[in-house]
Structure 1
Amino acid sequence: MAWGAISVVLGFAGLAVLAVCSFKVYLGVRRLARELERTRRRLAPQHSALRDELRDLQETRAAQEPDDGVRSS
């Protein structure tokens, strides 16, 4: 009978350890999400500027007429 009680107590202790670890992981994920959002906000102006520059380069490239290449006679 004592073995049954000990196994139940050890099972609850194991669940408690898993609950504590899960809570720590949850807090870590929340912290990481906040850090990613903060970084995303800091990089947004640079990202927008690079996107605009790329669009301008693509428009300039599309506006140029393609060369026929070198023709030999």
Structure 2
Amino acid sequence: MAWIPVSVSLGFVGLAVLAYCSFRVYMGVRRFGRELERTRRRLAPKQSALRDELDDLNGTRGPQAPGDGVRSS
């Protein structure tokens, strides 16, 4: 009859280990989310400048005629 309390206590210990691991994963995901947000804020001005420059480059080129493309054969 001693196996019942042992199995119950082992079940609780197993749940405690799973809870600890879940908490660590949760904290890691939160830290990763903050890191992504910080990186996004740092890159936003550069991305905006690059997008503006790309728009300027696309605006200065004239449209190509349909027959002026690169031929594959």
TMscore range, shorter length:
0.7 to 0.9
Structure 1 pair 27–45 and aligned structure 2 pair: CA distance change class (3 A): same
Question: What percentage of residue pairs aligned between the two structures are identical?
Answer: 69
Whole-Å Cα distance in 1 between the matches of residues 54 and 7 of structure 2?
Answer: 65
Task: Measure, in 2, the Cα distance between the counterparts of 1:41 and 1:32.
Answer: 14
Runs of 4+, deviation exceeding 6 Å? none
Superposition RMSD in Å: 1.6
Residue identity matched to 1:3 = W
Cross-structure match for 2:30: 30
Amino acid at match of 1:17: V
- For structure 2, the residue ranges without an aligned partner over 5 or more in a row are 69-73
Report the Cα distance in structure 1 between the residues aligned to 2:52 and 2:18, rounded to whole angstroms: 49
* 1:29-73 deviation line (CA, Å, top 9, x unaligned): 101100110110011000000011111111112xx254676xxxx
**Match for residue 17 of structure 2?**
17
Scaled by the length of structure 1, the TM-score of the pair is 0.82
Alignment of 1:1-73 (within 5 A): 1-61=1-61, 64=62, 66=64
Whichever structure has more helix as a proportion of its residues is: 1
Whole-Å Cα distance in 2 between the matches of residues 59 and 8 of structure 1?
72
Q: How many residues align?
A: 67
Instruction: Please give the TM-score of this superposition, normalised by the length of structure 2.
Output: 0.82
